[in-house]
Structure 1
Amino acid sequence: MSALLPGATIGIFGGGQLGRMIAMAARGMGYRILVLDPDPGCPARFVVDGCIEASWDDSRGAANLARGCDVVTLEIEQIAYASMEAAAAYCPVRPGGAMLAIIQNRIEQKDWLRKHGFPIGDYRAVRSLDETRDAIHALGGKAFCKSAQGGYDGRGQGKVGFSGPVSEDQVRGAWQALGEGPGVVEKAVELEREISVMVARSPRGEVKVYPAAWNHHENQILDWSVIPAPISPGLEARARQIAGEIADTFALEGLLAVELFVTTGGELLVNELAPRPHNSYHESERACVTSQFEQAVRAVCDLPLGDVDVVQPAAIANLLGDLWINPDKTPRQPHFDAALAVPGVRLHLYEKLKPRKGRKMGHLSAVGATSEEAVERVLAAKAAL
């Protein structure tokens, strides 16, 4: 097995902001980039060598992408297994289709984690209204309901039992949030905080596990994140161990983000997996020796993996489309100059053409002497917008 050196071509399933940032890192290292995306105006289009307009289940489009590439990776989980297989007929696809098939279905993913002995919260798979009702009550009446496939940033999700006893209307609302299709009902846990751990693994088996990130959500969308997470060394070591073991068990080739709950009792529970760069590691560009985007390139090209040590604490805050829209729904321009006046702050925009409520349009990043200072700075900059 030999490394793919600069000058080779990397294909990416997905041209969203993650694909864009992988491409920018890859171009800086001397690689050519092709992407496949249903949107001809996707954010990555402006920084890549070519863009194939095709849906995630278009096997012919996937094959066309791979024909022009030396390796293909992904930035989104919604790729059809048949598309992954079509691409794999022409070049390596990293991560692979078998791993993706497990991760992109929440029922399969949780069953896999439980089968392999990784710590997860109590859950039930549901496929009907009656099963949803039974699961909610069996799990104590306070639960999160998530669709089996698709759904992120709060979409395809609902919660029940947080404002008193569960009514039949709430049960029906939960079933509707699942799209009236297969899903999982998860028992609510008493949270101290949410963290994530990014792990990279190359085809040759080299593994690098990043320091944990501390994540804060608003309306089930990541609001801000910071590296390093202010947690005990023991908890940090355990979180990184879990992430590394999951990557090895999968025989990962690429990146894997492991989202974890830290309970008030000090227990670590795996929440979800993402086989790609992750929103909570955008600050790795400033916090760590090697950003998650450069590491993605190194991993899929089978280059030696980069150092993941923290150089300085750094935080990010997401910028949603709401910032571009006044309360009366007329457009507005955020005061980026005011945000950039805060020491240590940088602006990162994704060139998305149409701001919408809840849509990730960019992020701010900030560094500080401590994690807390980095968060304070990035939130002050966001408030100035």
Structure 2
Amino acid sequence: MHIGILGAGQLGRMLALAGYPLANRFSLLDPAGTPSADIGRIMTGQDDDTLAEFLAGVDLVTYEFEHLDTALVERIEAHVPVYPSRRALAVCQNRGDEKALFSHLSIPTPEWRLVGSATELAEAVNAMGAPVVAKSVTEGYDGKGQAVLHHADEAEAAWNSIGHTQLVVEAFVDFVREMSIIAVRSTSGELAFYPMAENHHHQGILRYSMAPLADISDDVQARAEHYIQQLLDELDYVGVLALELFQLADGSLLVNEMAPRVHNSGHWTMDGAVTSQFENHLRAIQGLPLGSTRALHPTCMINIIGREVDASEILAHEDVHLHRYGKSERAGRKLGHLNVTAPTPDELKARLAEVHPLVPDVPAPRFLAWESSREA
């Protein structure tokens, strides 16, 4: 098929790379005019002529990020199918709507409320008890558009720093670890779930994801699958969906947020699973049978942020796979990632101890799965 992708960043690039073995062709449209994918046919803008050129010969359209103008998606839907649906996109663009959907489906999530002023934010801090996390209702990613409040008198400064007309205020969660689950649903309704990953953030940006997790019970995996399947079914979703969760000390899960696209915490699947999240997304939207999501071996993804790595140093290490995005260096910018694999968790830990010092500005990895394994 000839597939159109809205967005021309690293996710669009990796989708195209996964699709070429299936004889797919790709056109990428970056509405904001800042493409970096350097692959396929790339266009910028969203005027009528550009949109007509983008849609020429395209069989269907998908997207690599959720901060899209839904009116643009509606215009495209008049010509070709768009997956995932515009409804899924709209829900994920608004944290208030997203939280309301979780509540409607009885999916556990941290206590939350909407506020529309600094005064209401202060009242929420007092009512919910500090600390709380305030987030912009729209936009915001990688820690942007957020603030942690420890006292109500911080409300005005937080409100002004975020700079939005409405915020979601969430109770601070005393979690054991952050996790995610990636699922995929095809046009025929076929479902597949990847093993859960443990994620580590630093300065608001994901630094590590590790999967599969030897210390995760079948019950915890099943609960996460149940939550994400409810969302897939409710939204009549087609494609890859990511769900971020907190695990508490008692083993219970709270859902944080979802992303209607291939996800950074699923990059480990490129070298650690039978079928990557990118290939399965393309299979799903084309109505092809889904590939196996079985993990091949313990894998840890490390994001390369801001500064490049020395490829010669990195690739001198066994079972290290380098994925570069072709971007120039800039503070906070995702330039690529590594997937480090090993036959066992202990061997993976040893390899990470050698490799992570070669990646700029990442703290040493510490995973609960390793601690639990040692205790066992």
* TM-score after normalising by structure 2: 0.91
CA deviation after TM superposition for structure 1 residue 368, in Å: 1.2
CA distance in 1, matches of 2:271, 2:310: 23
CA distance in 2, matches of 1:209, 1:85: 29
SS class of match (2:176): strand
Letter in 2 for 1:213: A
CA deviation after TM superposition for structure 1 residue 199, in Å: 0.8
CA distance in 2, matches of 1:374, 1:37: 38
Q: What residue is the counterpart of 1:147 in the other structure?
A: 136
- Output the aligned Cα RMSD: 1.7
Kindly indicate whether residue 169 of structure 2 is the aligned counterpart of residue 173 of structure 1.
Answer: no
CA distance in 2, matches of 1:363, 1:19: 15
Q: What residue is the counterpart of 2:340 in the other structure?
A: 366
Alignment of 1:230-241 (within 5 A): 230-241=215-226
Kindly indicate whether residue 169 of structure 2 is the aligned counterpart of residue 185 of structure 1.
Answer: yes
CA deviation after TM superposition for structure 1 residue 148, in Å: 0.7
Deviations 1:46-65 (A, max 9, x none): 221x112015xx57644542
Kindly indicate whether residue 47 of structure 2 is the aligned counterpart of residue 52 of structure 1.
Answer: no
Deviations 1:264-291 (A, max 9, x none): 2222111011010000010101111110
1:344/1:72 CA distance change after superposition, 3 Å: same
* TM-score after normalising by structure 1: 0.89
Q: What residue is the counterpart of 1:73 in the other structure?
A: 62
Q: What residue is the counterpart of 1:25 in the other structure?
A: 18
1:63/1:81 CA distance change after superposition, 3 Å: farther
Q: What residue is the counterpart of 1:289 in the other structure?
A: 274
CA distance in 2, matches of 1:81, 1:193: 34
Aligned counterpart in structure 2 of residue 134 of structure 1, from 106, 123, 129? 123
CA deviation after TM superposition for structure 1 residue 306, in Å: 0.8
CA distance in 2, matches of 1:295, 1:243: 16
CA distance in 2, matches of 1:13, 1:156: 23
CA deviation after TM superposition for structure 1 residue 378, in Å: 3.8
CA distance in 2, matches of 1:67, 1:234: 47
Kindly indicate whether residue 198 of structure 2 is the aligned counterpart of residue 214 of structure 1.
Answer: yes
CA deviation after TM superposition for structure 1 residue 372, in Å: 5.3
CA distance in 2, matches of 1:222, 1:375: 19
CA distance in 2, matches of 1:273, 1:294: 20
Structure 1 gaps, min length 5: 1-7, 325-333
Deviations 1:215-261 (A, max 9, x none): 01111110100111342222122112211222112110111001111
CA distance in 1, matches of 2:28, 2:346: 37
Q: 2:7–2:28: 8 Å Cα contact kept in structure 1?
A: yes
Q: What residue is the counterpart of 1:83 in the other structure?
A: 72
CA distance in 1, matches of 2:339, 2:352: 6
CA distance in 2, matches of 1:22, 1:286: 15
SS class of match (2:140): coil
Q: 2:298–2:345: 8 Å Cα contact kept in structure 1?
A: yes
CA distance in 2, matches of 1:263, 1:383: 30
Q: 1:364–1:378: 8 Å Cα contact kept in structure 2?
A: no
CA deviation after TM superposition for structure 1 residue 336, in Å: 2.5
Q: What residue is the counterpart of 1:301 in the other structure?
A: 286
1:317/1:82 CA distance change after superposition, 3 Å: same
Aligned counterpart in structure 1 of residue 303 of structure 2, from 307, 313, 318? 318
CA distance in 2, matches of 1:281, 1:252: 18
CA distance in 1, matches of 2:217, 2:353: 24
1:59/1:310 CA distance change after superposition, 3 Å: farther
Aligned counterpart in structure 2 of residue 335 of structure 1, from 290, 296, 310? 310
CA deviation after TM superposition for structure 1 residue 338, in Å: 1.8
1:376/1:67 CA distance change after superposition, 3 Å: farther
Letter in 2 for 1:351: G
1:361/1:383 CA distance change after superposition, 3 Å: same
Letter in 2 for 1:94: Y
CA deviation after TM superposition for structure 1 residue 184, in Å: 0.4
How many corresponding residue pairs?
A: 358
CA distance in 2, matches of 1:42, 1:211: 32
Structure 2 gaps, min length 5: 360-376
Q: 2:182–2:193: 8 Å Cα contact kept in structure 1?
A: yes
CA distance in 2, matches of 1:29, 1:277: 18
CA deviation after TM superposition for structure 1 residue 320, in Å: 0.5
Q: What residue is the counterpart of 2:366 in the other structure?
A: none
